[in-house]
Amino acid sequence: MIETAVNSRNTLLRLEDMTKAFPGVVANDKVSLSIKSGEIHALLGENGAGKSTLVKMIYGVLKPDAGQLYWTEQPATVGNPAAARRLGIAMVFQHFSLFDSMSVLENVALGMEKGIDHVQLEQKIVEISNRYGLPLDPSRHVYTLSVGERQRIEIIRCLLQDPKLLIMDEPTSVLTPQEVSKLFATLHRLADEGVSILYISHKLDEIKALCESATILRGGKVVDSVSVVNETPSSLAAKMMGEELQLSEKASHTEVGDVRLELNGLTHIARDPFDISLKNICLKVYSGEIVGIAGVAGNGQDELLKAINGEDLCSPADSVKLDGKACADQGPNQRRALGMASIPEERLGHGAVPGMSLLDNSLLTAFQRLEFLEHGFIRYDRCQAFCKSVIDNFNVKSNGMGAQAASLSGGNLQKFIVGREINQKPTVLVVSQPTWGVDAGAAQTIHDGLRDLAANGAAILVISQDLDELMSISDRVAAICAGVLSESFPMEAISIEQIGLMMAGVDPSSELKDQVSGRLLNQLAGQSEESPGNPP
């Protein structure tokens, strides 16, 4: 089914001087790289370095402005994804190309080149999923599946086409550590069978564990092509970022004050079949601390944020308390008046109105706390001063206060939104995915802002899927799984594997006493040691 043991390591794919420009930016500037058969090749770079643009050109989603693609050393043109698939190129997308309201079987069928009998296809899915350890029930609907399971659909869809090259765009950003080690085992197995893998990531330890060689992009240009064995994570980081990044010290504000945010049996039943119900969530966040909530996407993070910031009302009223005041039955404006601020995950459309200026966007959440309204009229002078301070403090690159929110780059808009909330000096801040899709420099600005706010006595709840982020800024961490929040643990008392277990809904404190789950942990740890071994 898949070409076995390719001994002669031929060059499978070679790119020569691929160039693609978008209005105002050259996303790829004469990018060249080559991948051999059976090689796991990393494409490494910061957000915005041009990785996605490059693979979209390989997969035929975008047309290059210039440059040539060679497939098994023959010049080839990939006009569209179907042409790519005919060559043997398959791709697992970062944002999955799945259809929520359809079954696994239908989703796989849609990715197939030709129509195929559904009974036959179902057998093939079961066969492939058994062979590669990707358990999946073909009759389930996608919206009922976890993100890890959704990714399996995409991988199986690719494998059914006998690919020669599998492109994976940041596949681990949504997985638990245990799921990551399973994925790596699958990828190694595929590489052993002769499939080449182009692995896109900015996570250096993963690349070190998985890949043989790496092409490093910065600002749309190839900085270096290296053999991973000869590199260390820090040498890769230096090449990726161009400059050694000053990692800020974790502030040591261990003295915590009063309870500022209290969730007391918070329960919210989802009305929408695509949403998660929150079940009996209890958590106290104290003045001066940052509490992190880990979890795989789609486990109730959005719902939790909405229940805390007042977009969703819950009962009884005292299931959410801000500074001791019961407010679960009050809307966002009342809660903001009590000192709460929140930053949702979705920047455009939820955190900011895309078509409005930065000035108007700052008015929208700050008008109450900073008294921008007087006798029903807007005091634009105050609003402008505030907006200017946000732009200056957080180094937001834009065409001034009048710039449309949608015109800012993702990182700059995120800095603006975070800054807008922080500069209101809230006593409780709830933030979801504070640095999602943001480059390292902007992430640091945001993290510094959060730390300063906590140091000044605010209670901060950070909901994030990025474990590295949570490890670096939180004082305590808990995990959410299927709408249930785990107990929280001080950061220094917990390992990344234990957080992984919590994300999967297993209680890590019990395993210390309990032999059975202790063995489970060992198994998982053993798996992660053996599978991503260094390539030969």
Partner 1 sequence: MGEVLIAAVLTIITAATPLVYASIGEMISEKAGVLNLGVEGMMLMGAVCGFAAVNATDSSAIGIIVGMLAGSGLSLIFAVLVLGFQATQVATGLALTIFGIGISSLIGQDLVGIAYDGLPKLPIPGLSAIPVAGKLLFNHDILVYGSFVLILVVSWFLRSTRSGLILRAVGDSHDAAHAIGYHVIRIRYMAILFGGAMSGLAGAYLSLSYSPLWIENMSAGRGWIALALVVFATWRPWRVFTGAYLFGGITILQLHAQALGIGVPAQVMSMLPYVATIIVLVLISQDHNKIKLNAPACIGKPFHPTS
Residue ranges binding partner 1 (CB under 8 A)? 60-61, 80-82, 85, 93, 96-102, 106, 109-111, 115, 141, 271-274
Q: Which is nearer to partner 1, 273 or 355 (CB)?
A: 273
Using the minimum distance from each CB to partner 1, give the nearer residue, 53 or 488.
53
**Closer residue to partner 1, CB minimum distance, 169 or 179:** 169
We find the least distance from the C-beta atom of residue 23 to partner 1, in angstroms, to be 11
271/513 with CB nearer partner 1: 271
Going 396 to 397 to 400 to 404, the CA torsion angle's sign is: negative
- Taking the C-alpha atoms of residue 182 and residue 273, their distance in angstroms, rounded to an integer, is 29
Shortest Cβ 98–partner 1 spacing (Å) = 6
| Contact (Cβ atoms closer than 8 angstroms) between residue 138 and residue 104 | yes
Is the Cβ of residue 19 or residue 34 nearer to partner 1 in the bound state? 19
Q: How far is the CB of 265 from partner 1 (least distance, A)?
A: 26
Please, what is the minimum distance in Å from the beta carbon of residue 88 to partner 1? 15
Angle at 61 between CA 55 and CA 66, to 5 degrees: 70
330-369 core/surface letters (b: 16 or more CB in 10 A; e: else): bebeebbebbbbbbbbebeebbbeeeebbbbbbbebbbee
- For residue 480, list its beta bridge partners: 485
Helix and strand numbers, DSSP H then E, in the chain: 18, 23
Q: Could you say which DSSP state residue 171 is in?
A: G
Tell the smallest beta-carbon distance from residue 87 to partner 1 (Å). Answer: 13
Nearest to residue 169, comparing CAs of 119, 143, 203, 141? 203
- Shortest Å distance, C-beta 84 to partner 1: 8
Nearer to partner 1, 110 or 512 (CB): 110
Residue 116 or 385 having the CB closest to partner 1: 116
* Cβ proximity of 411 and 417 under 8 Å: no
Q: Any bridge partners for residue 357, and if so which?
A: 404
Tokens, residue 521: 């942990």
Report the 10 Å Cβ neighbour count for 236. Answer: 22
CB of 417 to partner 1, least distance (A): 21
CB of 244 to partner 1, least distance (A): 35
SS3 521: helix
Which among 220, 210, 289, 209 is positioned nearest to 29, based on CA atoms? 220
- Tell the smallest beta-carbon distance from residue 198 to partner 1 (Å): 16
Q: 100 or 224, CB closer to partner 1? A: 100
Residues across the chain: 536
Q: Between residues 9 and 63, which has the closer beta carbon with respect to partner 1?
A: 63
**Full 3-state SS string of 77-137:** CCCCHHHHHHHCEEEECCCCCCCCCCEHHHHHHHHCCCCCCHHHHHHHHHHHHHHCCCCCC
CA distance linking residue 212 with residue 4, whole number of Å? 19
**CB of 71: closest distance to partner 1 in angstroms?**
17
Q: What is the DSSP string of 7-63?
A: -S--EEEEEEEEEEEETTEEEEEEEEEEEETT-EEEEE--TTSSHHHHHHHHTTSS-
CB of 167 to partner 1, least distance (A): 12
Is the CB of 93 or the CB of 184 nearer to partner 1? 93
Task: Sort residue 224 into left (φ over 0), alpha (ψ -120 to 50) or beta.
Answer: beta
- The answer to whether the peptide bond before residue 316 is cis (omega within 30 degrees of 0) is yes
Q: How far apart are CA 358 and CA 391, in angstroms?
A: 9
Closest to partner 1 by CB, 249 or 272: 272
